[in-house]
A and B are shown apart, each in its own frame.
Chain A
Amino acid sequence: AQKVTQAQTEISVVEKEDVTLDCVYETRDTTYYLFWYKQPPSGELVFLIRRNSFDEQNEISGRYSWNFQKSTSSFNFTITASQVVDSAVYFCALIGTSYGKLTFGQGTILTVHP
Chain B
Amino acid sequence: NAGVTQTPKFQVLKTGQSMTLQCAQDMNHEYMSWYRQDPGMGLRLIHYSVGAGITDQGEVPNGYNVSRSTTEDFPLRLLSAAPSQTSVYFCASSSGTGGLRSGANVLTFGAGSRLTVL
B40 touches A104 (CB 8 A): no
**Chain A's nearest CB lies how many Å from the CB of B20?**
21
Residue of A whose beta carbon sits closest to that of B38: A106
Give the contacting residue for A106; candidates B42, B58, B106, B111; CB below 8 A: B42
Interface size class of B (residues with CB under 8 A): 20 to 34
A8 within 8 A of B: no
B42 touches A47 (CB 8 A): no
**Chain A's nearest CB lies how many Å from the CB of B46?**
11
A-contacting 9-mer, from B22-30, B62-70, B72-80, B96-104: B96-104
Which chain B residues border A100 with CB–CB below 8 Å? 99-100, 103
A97 touches B100 (CB 8 A): yes
Interface string of A87-114 (1 = CB under 8 A from B): 0000101011100111111110000000
A106 touches B40 (CB 8 A): yes
**Chain B's nearest CB lies how many Å from the CB of A5?**
10
B34 within 8 A of A: no
Residue of B whose beta carbon sits closest to that of A9: B40
Which chain B residues border A46 with CB–CB below 8 Å? 109
A47 to B106, CA, bound (A): 7
A95 touches B100 (CB 8 A): yes
B42 touches A105 (CB 8 A): yes
CB within 8 Å of A: which of B25-67?
Answer: 33, 35, 40-45, 48, 58-59
Sorted nearest first, the 8 A-B pairs with minimum C-beta distance are: A104-B42, A45-B109, A95-B103, A104-B43, A33-B104, A106-B42, A47-B106, A97-B100
Give chain B's interface residues, CB within 8 Å of chain A.
Answer: 33, 35, 40-45, 48, 58-59, 88, 90, 92, 99-100, 103-104, 106-112
Known contacts A35-B106, A46-B109; can you find 7 more A-B pairs with CB under 8 A?
Answer: A9-B40, A45-B107, A45-B109, A96-B100, A100-B100, A101-B48, A102-B107
Give chain A's interface residues, CB within 8 Å of chain B.
Answer: 4, 6, 9, 31, 33, 35, 37, 43-47, 50, 52, 91, 93, 95-97, 100-107
